[in-house]
Structure 1
């Protein structure tokens, strides 16, 4: 059988399979008794990445954690510049970003994430990106809506942006299925430290 005779696997089907496995691995890491220490170490790695890039005063986007996502709030609170969080505008659209502070009034947003009830709309220079899995090439696997890929594509077309994935080390995979529209991360922060891809 030649390579052209071999059946090809649909990346969308592959992603669904990997998502199930990755969600289970992330949940197990989330439930570990030392989760607090590992989250603190991963957030410290984010702060170090921002410092190393010279972006301590830049607009940073975090996110409001859902389910078993690594909580970025320590890194958001430690940031010296403006902080915002993503707001889903609608299916097929890029994310918008609203200013966040620790005392901001929050309301329910799309997909169960909370978002600021009011505040300025900002353009982030640094994004902390949630994920289900990541690989050694810097690609991430999200939930399938394409919001971060669409957003990163637009932000990168308009200028430089630093995308840092935030995850537990257990979410690493040798390879995640990739489609042409998938945007790679610039770095990944876990409890094991920081890894740059670019």
Structure 2
């Protein structure tokens, strides 16, 4: 029990530090991260891509989502219940939005989709694909059920950690995009 409590405390401290570091990142680095994301995904055609509508200082994938919607279906995550995996509702630029769980914007209308490509937000990451989320486990549960999907973490270099504290249920990401580069497997399926 002591080890579990220590890991929980370490994750809480790490979340605070990563959040503060992310808040301090300037516009130039944010734009560079968004540009790198688009450069890695621009050739996708006929896919269902899950982006996200950023909250606070999260790295912003909306420019990539807008560009990809010409040749792909775009959706965003919706929290439907505590302890459940995320569901994904179709999104298009300018669609009507409402405030969902945790203050996240979600489309008012739109069909439910199962993504085969996911762009994932985070608070922190490490070079091995470790992802520090917000602590609800929503993405971990979702990714565990979408094993065949292409998963792309989007972050800023200020969020990099030496090592993300990991639990057995934490899902590592195959690659992460920041303003400094692409880390992990750079090949797209």
Same fold (TM over 0.5): yes
Aligned to 1:167: 155
Match of 1:71 among 46, 60, 81: 60
Q: What per-residue deviation string (whole Å, max 9, x for no partner) do you get for residues 90-132 of structure 1? A: 1000000000000211011000001000101111111111111
Equivalenced residue count is 182
Aligned match of 1:187: 175
Which stretches in structure 2 are left out of the alignment for 5+ residues? none
Map Cα deviations across residues 19-61 of structure 1 (whole Å, 9 max, x no partner): 11111111111xx2xx1x322321222223335xx64331111
Alignment map for 1:12-51 (pairs within 5 Å): 12-29=8-25, 32=26, 35=27, 37-51=28-42
CA RMSD in angstroms comes to 1.6
3-state SS of paired residue (1:97) = strand
- TM-score under structure 2 normalisation? 0.90
- Find runs of 4+ consecutive structure 1 residues off by over 6 angstroms: none
Distance 1:167 1:84 in 2: 19
- 2:29, 2:84 → 1: CA distance? 33
TM-score under structure 1 normalisation?
Answer: 0.86
C-alpha distance in 1 between matches for 2:178 and 2:73: 23
Give 1:79-94 correspondences, 5 Å limit.
79=68, 80-94=71-85
1:133 and 2:124 aligned: yes
Tell whether the 8 Å contact from 2:119 to 2:152 is kept in structure 1 after alignment.
Answer: yes
- Residue 3 of structure 1: aligned partner: none
